[in-house]
Amino acid sequence: AQEFNPLDWRSVPEMDDQIVMKIGHSVNMEWSSHTAVLKRFAELVGIYTHNEIRAEIFPGAQLGGEVEMIQQARQGALHVGLPATNNLAALAPSLNVFILPYLATSTEEVNYLQDEITPFLVPRVIDEAGVRIVGWENSGWRAFFYKSDDPIEAPADLAGLKMRVPPNPIMIASYEAWGGNPTPIAWPELYNALQQGVVEGGDNPVTDVIGMKFNEVINRMTTFHYTILTHPIVVSEVWFQGLSEEHQAAILRAGEEATDYIRWWQPLDEAKWWDKAREAGVIITAIEDETEWLEKARAIWPDYYETIGTDGEAVVQRALDILAAYPGE
């Protein structure tokens, strides 16, 4: 909380007839890729609208949980949100396509998929949830964090561990496919639950694990690539439609540029969090061969096409076609 703030979204001066853009998110940390992308977005909106739109940011779930904030955005009480894709999927099922385990296996592929499939998803998500996706933030690959003498290497290693899984049906099913014990524990209860051994671990990007101080109550992390935590920047469609064309264009431009910015910033930041994890004494291992993980997890896909929508299989096919056309690095 004491670091220098390089982005000065707060410097937008107050003026008469100014439009206030209320941004809500659920992160408590002053600096993380979530907060950085929104601060950049807020700053750019101020610049491109000649300060006619001024942002106010409400962090730390002050206004409610992520799903709740999206409902507020749909109703127009909040204007911008940054929900985790798996949480927004509770309202906008189309986004479940991103949750399918092992859909894309590198950050570059994920970025390419986001860029190519978003124009197709935008009208669907507006219809499903009343919010417009204007940009993306990636928080990094979900990694196992846990307390154990031995590292997780094969899916069979999960059998001995009780793992907390986010409330998303596809993620729960992935664990079951690996033979794990997915346990529903509310996120705010997780620190105590880990400390007392109610669960031994869970999976989250390193930023969350260290940001939530879980390093105090676990000893290991293991990286693999079953899914990446992403957050779409979403704008209330009711509010967006009430803006002038110039303002709408400015919002869309700010969304795109904030996405580009955070794709540069996040990997640099994530490297620092891995350093912090190592300094905190967390033993970090990587799963070298992910074949067994991938095969078992991909086998559940057909069961979950319908959670994406009645045309779920076609949506998945579209995503696969895009990935097949990925030009490579």
The contact set with another protein (CB under 8 A) reads 1-2, 22, 28-30, 56, 58-65, 67-68, 71-72, 74-77, 90-91, 93, 128-130, 162, 165-169, 172, 176, 181-186, 188-189, 191-193, 195-198, 211-213, 216
Cβ-Cβ contacts under 8 Å for 139 (sequence gap 6 or more): 32, 33, 34, 205, 207, 208, 228, 229, 230, 231, 266
Query: Which residues are registered as beta bridge partners of 138?
Result: 230
Output the smallest distance, CB 59 to another protein, in A.
7
Which CB atom, from 37 or from 194, has the smaller least distance to another protein?
Answer: 194
Which CB atom, from 80 or from 129, has the smaller least distance to another protein?
Answer: 129
Output the smallest distance, CB 104 to another protein, in A.
22
Which CB atom, from 46 or from 180, has the smaller least distance to another protein?
Answer: 180
Output the smallest distance, CB 175 to another protein, in A.
9
Closest CA to 228 of 212, 259, 205: 205
Output the smallest distance, CB 197 to another protein, in A.
3
Q: Distances in Å between the alpha carbon of 34 and those of 128, 169, 191?
A: 24, 24, 21
Q: Distances in Å between the alpha carbon of 217 and those of 192, 201, 212, 249?
A: 9, 9, 10, 47
Which CB atom, from 220 or from 263, has the smaller least distance to another protein?
Answer: 220
Which CB atom, from 58 or from 326, has the smaller least distance to another protein?
Answer: 58
For residue 211, the one-letter residue type is: G
Query: Taking a C-beta distance cutoff of 8 angstroms, is the pair 141, 228 a contact?
Result: yes
Output the smallest distance, CB 116 to another protein, in A.
26
Which CB atom, from 91 or from 250, has the smaller least distance to another protein?
Answer: 91
Output the smallest distance, CB 112 to another protein, in A.
28
Using CA atoms of 248, 249, 253, 256 in order, give the dihedral in degrees to the nearest 10. Answer: 60
